[in-house]
Amino acid sequence: VARAGEFDLIARYFAPLAAGAPGAFGLRDDAAAIEVAPGRRLVATADALVAGVHFMVGDAPGDIAAKMLRVNLSDLAAMGAEPRAYLMTLALPESVDDDWLAAFASELSAEQNRFGITLIGGDTVATSGPLTLSVTALGEAETVLRRDGARAGDTVFASGTIGDAALGLALLNDPSAAWTRALAAGDADHLIARYRRPEPRLRLGQRLIGLAGAAIDVSDGLVADLGHICEVSRLGARLRAADAPLSPAARRALQADPSLRNTVLAGGDDYELLFTAPPDKTEAVATLAADIALALTPIGDIVAGEGVTVLDETGAPIHLNQTGYRHF
Amino acid sequence: VARAGEFDLIARYFAPLAAGAPGAFGLRDDAAAIEVAPGRRLVATADALVAGVHFMVGDAPGDIAAKMLRVNLSDLAAMGAEPRAYLMTLALPESVDDDWLAAFASELSAEQNRFGITLIGGDTVATSGPLTLSVTALGEAETVLRRDGARAGDTVFASGTIGDAALGLALLNDPSAAWTRALAAGDADHLIARYRRPEPRLRLGQRLIGLAGAAIDVSDGLVADLGHICEVSRLGARLRAADAPLSPAARRALQADPSLRNTVLAGGDDYELLFTAPPDKTEAVATLAADIALALTPIGDIVAGEGVTVLDETGAPIHLNQTGYRHF
C-alpha cells in the first residue's frame, strides 16, 4: 500500500505536530482541551480549501500547508487575536501518498514553529473527489477588532503592498504575458511568493486594538473587502486608486500594462490588513508602522452613504470590471 | 441559477443559525469570539464527512445535518464537556441546490435548539467532488474525561444498547436479508433511526467526571473502541459478549441469525459511551443510571496485558472477523 491506515497516518505524521499542546493528548483522545487565560476570549475561524479551486492540483504540498494555515491566521490577525492552535480535517483522494503527506506535515511543523501554534485535533477521511482541507484556527484576545466599527470621517489604511498576490496568480496562469517582460530579476518570484505564502499580519492586528475602528484582511480583493466594512458599518468609502501601496514589482507590471490596475484593486489573496482609524489617530498609526516596520498607507476615507467609490488620480470615479473574488 | 452566491447563501441559510451567539457577529466578520467561564477549559473536536463514505448520496439533508452534529457532540460527551458552539465548512457540488440547503439548514436549526448550541463560523466553497462537510464542535468543561485513565481491576460499562446502528446500516444495505423477517413491527425503524440519529450522551458524560477512569464514545465499534482505551491506558480488557446490552430489536435479529453477533460487537456508529470505573464506584454508577434514566451495563473488566479479549457465555475467547470500522 502507498499509504498507511488512518491510525498509523495520524501517529506518524500528525501526532508529532500536537506535541506542544498537552491538552491535545497526542491526538489520541476524543477532543482537545485548551486553557483560555482569565479575561481573554477565545477567537475561532474556519476555512475550507479544495484542490482545483483554491490551489492547483500539482502545487507543492508544503505550499498548500503553508497557505492553508496562513489564510486562517490572517483571519485571526484581522480580529487582533493571538493564535493558539488549530484543528484540521483532510479528505484525501487515493493519489495522495505517503511522500505527499510527509512533505505536507513537515511544512506544517515549520509553520507551527514560525507562528507559535499547535495542531490539537482533526480527522482524516478518504474521498473520491479532489483533496479537500478544512482548518479551524483558534486564538485568544481580550477584545476583538470588528468589521462594523467604521465611522464617517475615518481614514482607510492598508498594510504592506496590495496586488502582488493577484499579479503572482496572473503570472502562474500566463507566464508569458507581455507585461512580464517588464519585470526585473526577482520580481516574478516575489509576486508568486506573495500569492503562495501570504504573511498574516498578526503583530499588526494585535496592535490595532484600541486604534482601529474597523479591520478586515484583504482576501476577496481590496475593493470588495472595503465593501464588506462599508456594508456592516452601514457607510460608504472613497478609495484613491493611485494611493494603493505597490511593491516595485507591481509598479513595473502596471507601468508595462496599465490595465492591470483592475487586477491590483480587485484581485484578492494579499492577506494584508485593511483598517479604519479616526483622523486623530493618524500619528499613532504612523508610530505603529515604524514600530513594526510595516507600511501602513492611507488610501481613502469612510463617508456617509453606501458602497465603495474608486477614484483615479484626478478624483474622477473609476469603474472596475470585477470588484472581487467570486466564491462560486 | 439554482443556487445563491456565497454571501447570499450565508445570509439566507446560515446567518440565522448564528443569531443566538452575539460573538458570532452574524457570520459577517473574520472570526467569532467566545467567552469561556473562569475555571473552565475549552474543549474542541473536529470531524469530516464525505458523501458516499460517511453517508449515502441520496440521504435526506436533514439526516445528514443531524448526524454531522451528533457525531461531533458525541466526542464532546466522551470528554464530559458541555457543548457551546460549532464551526462548519461545506464543500458543495453543483447538484446541491437551494432546496437541499434549506432543508439542511432547517434541521441544523432544530438540532441547535435541541442541544443548546449555535453556529459561529465556517466557510462555503464549491467542489467538483462529492459533498464534503467538516465540523469543529466547541464545548467547555472544568476537567475532562480521558481515554487513558483505565486501571487494572476497573469495570467496563456501556451506556444504552449496542449494535443497533450497525444492524440499521446492514438493513439499509440489504433490506431483504433473511434475519429481517424475524423483526417485530417498528424494529426496522428503530435500528435505522439509531444509525441515522445517534443520541450523544452529553448528560452522562458530564456526570461521569469524577466517577469514570476512562471514557470513549462507540464510533468505530465496541471492541475497537475498548481497544483504544486499552492502548492509551497500556492495559488489556476482557469483554463478555453475552453481557453487551441489546435492544429488543437487536435481540430478535441475533436470535434469527447468531452470526450477527460480529456485527453487533464490531460495528460502529452507536455513539454510546464506553467507560471504566473502579469496583467501589459500582453503586454510584447504578445511582447515576437511575438518575438519568439510561442503562449503564457492566460488560467486562480492565486487566494487565494488552488488547481486548472477547469471551463467550462459557468464558471461552471468541475470534471476531473484523474488530472495527476501517477509516480507509
CA distance to partner chain B, nearest, from residue A309 (Å):
21
Those residues with Cβ within 8 angstroms of residue A140's Cβ, 6 or more apart along the chain or in another chain: A36, A37, A40, A41, A42, A43, A81, A82, A84
Name the residue in chain B with its Cα closest to that of A229.
B29
Q: Is the CB of residue B296 less than 8 Å from the CB of residue B211?
A: no
Q: Positive or negative, the Cα torsion across B236, B240, B245, B250?
A: positive
The alpha-carbon radius of gyration of chain A (Å, integer) is 21
Segment B157-167 shows an average pLDDT of 97
Asked if B327 lies within 8 A of A91 by C-beta distance, the reply is: no
The reported pLDDT for the residue numbered A326 is 46
CA distance, residue B103 to nearest chain A CA (Å): 21
Chain A residues lying within 8 Å of B47, measured CB to CB: 89, 123
Chain B positions in Cβ-Cβ contact with residue A328 (cut-off 8 Å):
3, 5-6, 126
C-alpha cell at B69: 452534529
pLDDT at B326: 46
Instruction: Give per-residue pLDDT as tens, A303-324.
Output: 999 999 999 999 999 988 766 5
ipTM reported for the complex, 2 dp: 0.93
B57: which DSSP letter?
Answer: T
Asked if A136's CB is within 8 angstroms of B75's CB, the reply is no
Q: Which of B3, B44, B327 lies nearest to residue A31, judging by beta carbons? A: B44
Per mean pLDDT, which range of A2-11, A64-73, B67-76 is the poorest? Answer: A2-11
Q: Where are the alpha helices (DSSP H) in chain B?
A: 6-9, 61-79, 98-115, 164-173, 187-196, 202-208, 222-233, 248-256, 261-266, 282-292
Question: Which residues fall within 8 angstroms of residue B227, CB to CB, at 6 or more apart?
Answer: B237, B307, B308, B323, B324
* Whole-number Cα distances in Å, A198 to A15, A58, A84, B227: 26, 19, 19, 43
Look at residue B115 in the predicted model and tell me its pLDDT. Answer: 97
More confidently predicted of A170 and B56: A170
Reply yes or no on whether the pLDDT at A130 is more than 60: yes
From the number of C-beta atoms within 10 Å of its C-beta (0-12, 13-18, 19+), residue B246 rates as buried
- As given in the structure block, the three cell numbers for residue B178 are 433473511
pLDDT at B328: 43
**Predicted pLDDT at B57:** 84
- Alpha-helix runs per DSSP H in chain A: 6-9, 61-79, 98-115, 164-173, 187-196, 202-208, 222-233, 248-256, 261-266, 282-292
Closest Cα in chain B, distance from residue A37 (Å): 8
* Mean pLDDT, residues B191-209 taken together: 97
Q: How many CB atoms lie within 10 A of CB A16?
A: 16
Q: What angle do CA A290, A295, A301 make, to 5 degrees?
A: 115
Residue A227: what pLDDT?
96
Is the pLDDT at B324 greater than 80? The verdict is: no
